[in-house]
Structure 1
Amino acid sequence: MRIRYTSVMVDDQEKALRFYTDVLGFLVKHDVPMGDARWITVVSPENPAGTELVLEPDAHPAVRPFKDALVADGIPFTAFVVVDVRAEYERLRGLGVTFTQEPTDMGPVTTAVLDDTCGNLIQIQSATR
């Protein structure tokens, strides 16, 4: 068994697609119209055959209160691994990304938390050197 897809719930698929590709650097794997929404997946350029992140519409009534509660409590929805959190933090800040947590040593990992502009906090992390 392996993980093929995981989702992040977004308030605007087009805005999410721009953020996750143009800013974070993911590549579009699928972009298929499905009525009012689309089946959009992105992948890491470092592993294009790997796990796909689905940019899932957050239209279900339970989703927005859940997302709002996580953001209010400062809890990231998911985490991405990077080689160097501090370098990625500086790169993303240079692109205008807002962070709710600057790089912080947490023992075996260093983490930072960013706002994905689509209603989610996302953690980036790397092994602490």
Structure 2
Amino acid sequence: MMQGIATMGVYVRDQDEALAFYVDKLGFQAHTDARNGDYRWLTVRHPAQPAFQLGLFLPGPPMHDAATAQALREAVAKGAMPPLVLAVDDCRAAYARMRDAGVEFTQEPVERYGAVDAGFRDPSGNGWKMIEARAADT
């Protein structure tokens, strides 16, 4: 019986740089940092979702050959990967806090579709949407 998704990965260009970004700027917690030869399994988790891990993975062996790894690095750097979504209680306050922490935003908070959202990228180019859901009018 399946129990749900435990880990989702993003490709990063530098695992130490990514770890610092996700922990120091976004408030995630380091979870697993294990090595097997040159391969490093590195995950973080959000304090509000301790059962779910975000893997910070380098494209390359043992999962990819050199050509595939290079293509993946280029796609991430161009922002071509699907965005991840971070749910927040107050998008404008989270934007101000994260901006002050050094997060570079691609979109300031905008109100639309019944929510407020903003966009940013991690140091590797992975796109994020930060969304504050609005309560439905009754």
Range into which the TM-score falls when normalised by the shorter chain: 0.7 to 0.9
Out of 8, 22, 25, the position equivalent to 1:23 is: 25
Task: Indicate conservation of the 8 Å contact 2:12/2:18, yes or no.
Answer: yes
User: Which TM-score applies when normalising by structure 1?
Assistant: 0.86
| Identity value in percent | 38
Q: Residue type of the partner of 2:20? A: R
Of Structure 1 and Structure 2, the greater strand share is in: 1
TM-score, with structure 2 as normaliser: 0.81
* Structure 2 portions without partners, runs of 5+: 61-68
**Structure of higher CA gyration radius:** 2
What does 1:53-72 align with in structure 2 at a 5 Å threshold?
53-59=54-60, 60-70=69-79
- C-alpha change, 1:122 and 1:88, in structure 2 (3 Å) is same
> What whole-Å deviation, never above 9, does each CA across 1:87-109 have from its counterpart, x for those lacking one?
10000011111100011123132
Q: 1:63-98, CA deviations, whole angstroms, 9 ceiling, x for partnerless residues?
A: 123224435xxx752111111111100000111111
Question: Matched residue of 1:61: which SS?
Answer: helix
Structure 1: any 5+ residue segments left out of the alignment? none
CA RMSD of aligned residues (A): 1.8
